[in-house]
């Protein structure tokens, strides 16, 4: 049964079950690598994407809930030719080690900056508290988000 999904500004017609999880559809059907699989139970944040600007965990979200909504993955946020200020700041601050959490961190931060362009450190920590980083690059991520907020203003 064809299912329509709007991803990164493009309408995609997919031959998938409505019960399919968004992360599977993004990674396996649309061949996007940005949303990462970390836990499958909405505990780590590596799969975070935006739905109408709100960060959601794509690993537990069935696509049936997303009809007509705007889905943005990190690929839709920016790329090498046209990077989002957060992506530039993550490189500038070298805010990664293994980088497996980076996509999710950036998507959660992008949503924060939309709502709160001048976040305090505490605002950033609160917004990213459900995104796990195992390498311990939190302090760099904090700096990068701060830097991006300055660059955006």
Q: Smallest distance, Å, CB 58 to other proteins?
A: 13
Q: Smallest distance, Å, CB 149 to other proteins?
A: 16
Whose structure tokens read 């537990």? 60
Helices (H), 9-152: 22-24, 74-77, 85-92, 102-115, 121-128, 138-152
Question: Is 97 in contact with 87 (CB distance < 8 Å)?
Answer: no
Q: In this complex, which beta carbon is closest to other proteins, that of residue 6 or of residue 125?
A: 125
Question: Is 137 in contact with 97 (CB distance < 8 Å)?
Answer: yes
Q: Smallest distance, Å, CB 83 to other proteins?
A: 7
Q: What is the contact surface with other proteins in residues (CB under 8 A)?
A: 20-21, 24, 27-28, 31-41, 43-44, 46, 73-75, 78-80, 83, 87, 90-91, 94, 96-103, 106, 124-126, 128-140, 142
Q: Smallest distance, Å, CB 134 to other proteins?
A: 5
Question: Is 79 in contact with 62 (CB distance < 8 Å)?
Answer: no
116 in helix, strand or coil?
coil
């Amino acid at each position: 049964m064809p299912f329509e999904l709007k991803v990164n500004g493009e309408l995609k017609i997919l031959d998938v079950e409505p019960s399919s999880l968004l992360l599977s559809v993004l990674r396996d059907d649309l061949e996007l690598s940005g949303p990462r699989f970390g836990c499958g139970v909405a505990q780590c944040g590596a799969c975070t994407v935006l739905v109408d600007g709100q960060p959601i965990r794509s690993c537990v979200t069935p696509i049936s809930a997303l009809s007509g909504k705007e889905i943005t993955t990190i690929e839709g946020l920016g790329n090498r030719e046209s990077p989002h200020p957060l992506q530039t700041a993550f490189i500038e601050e070298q805010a990664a080690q293994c980088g497996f959490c980076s996509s999710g961190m950036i998507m959660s931060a992008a949503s924060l900056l939309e709502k709160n362009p001048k976040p305090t450190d505490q605002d950033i920590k609160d917004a990213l508290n459900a995104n796990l980083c195992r390498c311990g690059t939190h302090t760099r991520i904090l700096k990068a988000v701060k830097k991006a907020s300055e660059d955006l203003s």
